[in-house]
Structure 1
Amino acid sequence: MRTIILTLLSCILPLTSQAKSPNILFIVSEDNSEHIGCYGEKRVHTPALDSLAKSGVRYTRAYVPYSVCSPSRAAFLTGLYTRQTGHIGLATHKFAMYKDFKTMPAYFKEAGYYTGFLGKTHINPERLVEDYVDHRAIKGANFSKTISIRTYADEAKTVMQNAIKQDKPFMLIINYADAHRKFVGKSKNGYPTKLVTTPIKPFPWIGSDSPHLREEIMNYFNCMNRLDEGIGMVLKDMDKLKVRDNTLIIYIADHGADFPRAKGSIYENGSRIPMIVNYPKSFTQGKVEHQMVSTLDILPTMLAQCDIKAVSKLPGKNLHAIDQGKTKGHAYIHTFTTGSSPNLQYIQFGIRNERYKLIYNPYRHLNYLGLSRYKNSKLPENQHVKTFLHPEEYELYDLQTDPYEWKNLATAPEHQEEKNRLLTAMKTFQKEIKDPFLDKTNLDIFQEEQLKHRKINYRKTKGFRWPHLKLFEDANN
């Protein structure tokens, strides 16, 4: 009898332990800044996200290391900087990691989780994600918003139900394209049900204005309303399935909104994003966290909460440890851009501390990415901010007194000490992550390579591999 009981216990205990492992719901919205009710934007209707903030932790200074989709995704999926993986541009332009790195779905699939992924992958090689997903749906970008938010919720429900049937915790990633251009005020599926109907005066950090831009922002707000309604559907299904209490929910935007001086740039409204962590079992409820955090902190946090070990040291921090006061947020936030594709080429390096931000612009040609933002919003030339299109070699901003980054202090004698301090910290960081672009010769090689490919004819070349990936291989050997 004793032997039988011990045998039964040995079978039951692993299942019990597994059942206690938290589920993971990771929600990523594309192309939106902090235009959510809980961040103070009252012209939108976002009760679902507001509720997550009310019973979770809302971060006021959360950042992405690169404010364009593919590089941002490569970073949070691997927990590594783009200058560690080599994924420094858009997957649609053949940018890729220089070697295989372990991704978020791989960690959880191998740990016994049922994994789901809804929305585009948008990194190369895709197999680093796709090979570790049990339930895959809505693989396209859905920029046209033809796929209903109800479909997203139904697919999410399927993931949760399948996990329950298999007696496994789930790890579900949902990518919503609602705020990605084209801004659709109301989708053909009838969402959002609550509309913003008044054109919106442009945000002060844009520095431009036009009737068309005001209409765009109105529809962008409606995209935010639709996004929230979609998230609300998922949360309701979680409650019905009784999985909410044991689910770590993390919400982020992949970068800032697609307006001038935001998406693609190193300015605050491109690289700073909304982030909410909701898991009342472990995290503080109703907390507003002002310490600086990064999307690189997401994977280490998930792994720590689920008692899964990383394959190598990750540069991010454990958000739970920050929440509990066991460690502090980041002393520096490091950002980078190449423009994301040759036709948008413009290289920038950024670093910020608690108060100041330094941007290094190594080349003096036109900021092609910046110009593309003005074309997207159909802004006439007299509405183009010249310092955005033709910035100085160095930009230094006092974010305390100049939060929208208009007054460049880089040449001011009284700020040279701060500038040099940040520049030194930037180079120290580059050395730590083995950034090949610390060497200006390598940067010149990359710059020349990209400018030669501005006609983007490489996209039809089968098996094309960017030569610059060899720079990353050499830097890490």
Structure 2
Amino acid sequence: MIRFLIVLVIFFSPFGISAKRPNILLIVSEDNGPELGCYGEPYVQTPNLDRLASRGILFEKAYVPQAGCSQSRAAYLTGLYPHQNGQIGLATWKFRLYEDSVPNLVSTLKKAGYRTGLIGKLHVNPSSAFPFDFKKISTANFSRKKLSNYTKEAKAFIEDSQQPFFLNVNYPDAHRPFLSQVAGLPKKPLTAKEVTPLAYFGLDSLELRQQTADYYNCISRLDSKIGELIETLQKSGKIENTLIIYLGDHGADLLRGKRTCYEGGTRIPLIISWPSNIVSDSRRKELVSSLDLFPTIIDAAGLNLISGLAGRSLLPLFKKEPVSWRQHIFTEYHLHSAHNFFPQRAVRNHRYKLIQNLLPNQTNPGYNFTRKKFIPRLPEILTTSSKNLRSAYQRMERPPEFELYDLESDPYEFVNLAYLSQHASTLKSLRTTLRNWRGKTSDPLLKAENLNRLKVEIESCFTNGSPDKSDLHLTYPQFFFSK
């Protein structure tokens, strides 16, 4: 029996289930950062998400604990960091929760009398740990077939729910492939000539512009579908009593985005609307995490979670009042598939970010994994770039133990300050904060033997330089916490 390290105590509020208990609509998009109109993105058109933000709160500094699909979803559903819940890699590569019985948002709401629904992929193992009453469109649907069915299924669920409901709708956009147009959406796709590459690239080329344009087209299509969903909720007459949460599961599948601890990977859009309970058109600058969603939803539902979750309720931020809040946010990385195992831990405050690479001065396989698939001409493009930019990409390919960035003067993390004497005190302070967090959250990779054993386990599925998931035999849920 695995020793479960988190103690969760749930007290239900004394009042019974009633119409006053809010419905919960959790909308999640794939592989997109805060590249939305309401976040200041000049190229992409997102009128529906912009409108949602104008009716609620936009969080300017929102993060996921790990920039990977399964890892991010498991985190907001369990309220635990990946190293705490076990979903450290993709579910399709056999990674899973340590225990089937780990407390989660779905089972908690179901026990409290909510009707629970899922439209779109779950992507967490085992799926049986999440007892949804209603499940439709269970595939990833990266081909974007029949996107209108997401609204159709949501309409059926919402109209059939005679009790408070929790509905999680997971859309496939903006996951790769970046499809410029599907079923006429967007009506007028952007072209390479109309955009510039994302700023955190620091680079420019025709191929980067084309990828960026099509990434934006995916986001515009996503916005259209979210608009249809919210209109359906409006027509049902239930929107006034519904807490609506929208977030991206992590940043774009582009170099320096997904599968990293850089801002392009872990910073996400987070918008929350709840009529009569949130001051509209608000913007909050606090450091928040998708780990805060579990306690927020339970708090809004009238349930009191005492201990064990990594996040905290966002309800105190729903009013335009000063709130005592955290000064640090933590993120991490392990791997996505076996192609890109390169564990990292990171912490940021309102100005600085520290990344600790647990396999320093070794080649990061995730760098070439992404570069070769999506930017094969990168070495050529870099030849005309600045020294700082070339150094940033070299550092990503073969990282030192520590990377320290001043996010005020260097928001795209191009200049590493970790080994400059004038920043020694900042480095020391953040190293201490990171080390204390790792200890407090029982990070299994604090033990070198766990890190080394996991590395050997991952590498054992490689033949002639390529991994085969059929040869991947994972035992980390057992040995991470064995005595």
The offset of 1:434, in angstroms, is: 0.9
Distance 1:118 1:465 in 2: 31
- Among candidates 232, 236, 239, match of residue 237 of structure 1: 232
Alignment-derived partner of residue 227 in structure 1: 222
- CA distance in 2: counterparts of 1:45 and 1:362, whole angstroms: 40
Inter-partner Cα distance in structure 2 for 1:316 and 1:452: 35
CA distance in 2, matches of 1:90, 1:423: 28
| Paired AA for residue 329 in structure 1 | W
Residues 16-165 of structure 1: matches in 2 within 5 Å? 17-100=17-100, 101-129=102-130, 132-148=131-147, 150-163=148-161
Note if contact 1:115-1:159 (Cα within 8 Å) is conserved in structure 2: no
**Residue 392 (1) aligns with residue 387 (2):** no
Counterpart of 1:322, as a letter, is L
Amino acid aligned to 2:149: T
* 1:326 positional shift: 7.4
Q: Residue 194 of structure 1: CA displacement?
A: 4.0
Residues 311, 89 of structure 1: CA spacing in aligned structure 2 closer, same or farther, 3 A cutoff? farther
Which range is displaced more, 195-204 or 259-268? 195-204
**195, 209, 213: which is aligned to 2:208?**
213
Structural mapping, 1:299-448, within 5 Å: 299-310=294-305, 312-324=307-319, 325=321, 327-363=323-359, 364-380=361-377, 381-383=379-381, 385-448=393-456
Cα distance in 1 between the residues matched to 2:322 and 2:112: 26
C-alpha spacing 1:273/1:82, structure 2 compared with 1 (3 Å): same
Counterpart amino acid of residue 176 in structure 1: Y
Q: Secondary structure at the match of 1:171?
A: strand
Offset at 1:158?
0.8
Once structures 1 and 2 are overlaid, which stretch shifts more, 376-385 or 288-297? 376-385
Distance 2:408 2:375 in 1: 32
Q: In 2, Cα distance between the equivalents of 1:309 and 1:302?
A: 10
Letter in 1 for 2:362: H
SS in 1 for 2:298: helix
> Aligned in 2, Cα 1:320/1:155: closer, same or farther, shift over 3 Å?
same
Q: Please list, as runs of the form range in 1=range in 2, the aligned pairs for 1:195-214 lying within 5 A after superposition.
A: 195-199=189-193, 200-214=195-209
For residues 383 and 470 of structure 1, the distance between their equivalents in structure 2, rounded to whole angstroms, comes to 45
Letter aligned with residue 45 of structure 2: H
**In structure 1, how many angstroms separate the alpha carbons of the residues matched to 2:302 and 2:127?**
26
Name the CA shift for 1:316/1:198 in 2 (closer, same or farther; >3 Å).
same
Say which is worse superposed, 440-449 or 395-404, in terms of deviation.
440-449
- SS of residue paired to 1:20: coil
1:378 maps to amino acid: I
The equivalent residue for 2:387 is none
Give me the whole-angstrom Cα distance separating, in 1, the residues matched to 2:93 and 2:200: 29
Moved more, 284-293 or 207-216: 207-216
Secondary structure (helix, strand or coil) at the match of 1:273 reads strand
From the superposition, tell whether residues 105 and 139 of structure 1 become closer, same or farther in structure 2 (CA, over 3 Å).
same
Aligned counterparts of 1:128 and 1:235: Cα–Cα separation in 2? 28
Spell out the pairing of 1:209-288 with structure 2 (5 A cutoff): 209-288=204-283
Which letter maps to 1:306? A
Change in 2 beyond 3 A, CA 1:159/1:311: farther
Deviation at 1:170, TM superposition (A): 1.2
In 2, the alpha carbon distance for the partners of 1:471 and 1:329 equals 36
Aligned partners of 2:23, 2:196: CA distance in 1, in Å?
41
Distance 2:268 2:458 in 1: 28
**Secondary structure of 1:18's partner?**
coil
Displacement of 1:311 after TM fit?
7.9
2:173 maps to 1:178: yes
Q: Distance in 1 between matches of 2:473 and 2:237?
A: 47
Q: 1:311 to 1:340 in 2, by over 3 A?
A: farther
1:328-357: CA deviations, max 9, x gaps? 333211111123222112121111111111
Aligned CA distance change for structure 1 residues 95 and 424 (closer, same or farther; 3 Å): same
Against the structure 1 CA distance between its residues 383 and 335, is the aligned structure 2 distance closer, same or farther, given a 3 Å change threshold?
farther
Structure 1 partner of 2:163: 168
Answer yes or no: is the 8 Å Cα contact 1:90–1:341 preserved in 2.
Answer: yes
More moved, 317-326 vs 286-295: 317-326
> CA 1:248–1:103 in structure 2 vs 1: closer, same or farther (change >3 Å)?
same
> Equivalents in 2 of 1:103, 1:275: separation in Å?
20
| Structure 1 runs not aligned, ≥5 long | 1-12
Separation in structure 2 between the aligned mates of residue 71 and residue 85 of structure 1, nearest angstrom: 9
Amino acid at match of 1:49: L
Note the C-alpha offset of 1:65.
Answer: 0.5
Report if aligned partners of 1:48, 1:228 keep a CA contact under 8 Å in 2.
Answer: yes
Count of residues paired in the alignment = 453
- Looking at structure 1, the residues matched to 381 and 73 of structure 2 have their Cα atoms a distance apart, in angstroms, of 32
Report the counterpart of residue 5 of structure 2 in structure 1: none
Distance 1:194 1:110, change over 3 A: farther
Structure 1 residues 18-51: Cα deviation after superposition (integer angstroms, max 9, x where no partner): 1111000000001011111101113111111001
> Is the 8 Å Cα contact of residues 30 and 171 (structure 2) preserved in structure 1?
yes
Structure 2 unaligned blocks of 5 or more: 1-13, 383-392
Letter in 2 for 1:379: P
SS state of the match for residue 89, structure 1? coil
- Asked if the contact 1:322/1:329 (under 8 Å) is kept, the reply is no
8 Å CA contact 1:210, 1:379 repeated in 2? no
How far apart, CA to CA, are the structure 2 residues paired with 1:21 and 1:274?
26
For residues 346 and 448 of structure 2, the distance between their equivalents in structure 1, rounded to whole angstroms, comes to 16
* Root mean square deviation of aligned Cα: 1.9
Structure 1 residue identity aligned to 2:128 = R
1:133-161 deviations in Å (ceiling 9; x for gaps): 1221110001111232x111111111101
CA offset at residue 102 of structure 1? 2.1
1:437 is paired with a residue of what secondary structure? helix
CA pair 414-393 structure 1, distance change in 2 beyond 3 A: same
- Give the conservation status (yes or no) of the 8 Å contact 2:338–2:467: no
